């Protein structure tokens, strides 16, 4: 067996020697037309494994990206005007606390770009049912609202979201390029 091809020697030699047989009835131009088709879903990115986890500290408005025990990047974040406490119900404007997953990038977000957080988890749903309320959802790490400028730095200096975690537009671009879908996010008080 040939080490380079991992095929039986006779088959390997045959592949090198035999000429190409052209099918005169096949439309080879079709290959050119379909070669540009995407084989992965829109927005798919190969994992880069640059970040192991994201940790948020709501009380000091910081979000840290970790690789192992080393901080890779640190962001100042904006939350809602009522950030204290765990999210209990839809409309309470709180950011959930606990461990979730950054599960997908949402390019067609109202905000510049967004990375979805897997809230509510089964425990959140059960707690909301027990209280007779809806748990809410669509919690994201996102950029700034639409504006005429490149980004809204003045908005970012205050807490203004409805329970999401906001960073500046250039930062959300960087965040999305560093963090793979499936990365855990730990949100602390």
pLDDT tens, residue by residue, 151-181: 555 556 678 888 899 999 999 999 999 999 9
Query: Which residues are bridge partners to 183 per DSSP?
Result: 102
d(CA 116, CA 106): 7
Mean pLDDT of the chain: 82
d(CA 169, CA 171): 5
State the pLDDT at residue 148.
47
State the pLDDT at residue 1.
42
What is the dihedral sign for C-alpha 70, 72, 74, 77?
Answer: negative
Tokens of 68: 């192992």
pLDDT bin (cut points 50, 70, 90) of residue 58 is very high
Phi, then psi, of 9 in degrees rounded to 5: -55, -40
H or E element at residue 122: helix 122-131
Single pTM value for the model: 0.72
């Amino acid at each position: 067996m040939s080490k380079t091809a991992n095929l039986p020697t006779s088959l390997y030699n045959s592949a090198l020697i035999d000429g190409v047989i052209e099918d005169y009835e096949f439309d080879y131009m079709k290959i050119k037309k379909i070669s540009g088709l995407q084989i992965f879903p829109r927005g798919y990115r190969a994992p880069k494994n640059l970040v192991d986890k994201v940790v948020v500290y709501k009380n000091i408005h910081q979000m840290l990206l970790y690789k192992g025990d080393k901080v890779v990047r640190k962001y100042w974040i904006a939350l809602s005007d009522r950030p204290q406490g765990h999210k209990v119900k839809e409309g309470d404007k709180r950011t959930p606390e606990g461990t979730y997953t950054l599960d997908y990038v949402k390019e067609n977000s109202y905000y510049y770009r967004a990375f979805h957080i897997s809230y509510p988890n089964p425990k959140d749903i059960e707690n909301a049912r027990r209280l007779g309320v809806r748990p809410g959802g669509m919690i994201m790490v996102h950029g700034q609202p639409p504006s005429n400028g490149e980004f809204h730095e003045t908005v970012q200096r205050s807490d203004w979201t409805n329970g999401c975690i906001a960073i500046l537009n250039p930062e959300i671009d960087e965040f999305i390029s560093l963090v793979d879908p499936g990365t855990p996010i730990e949100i602390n008080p």
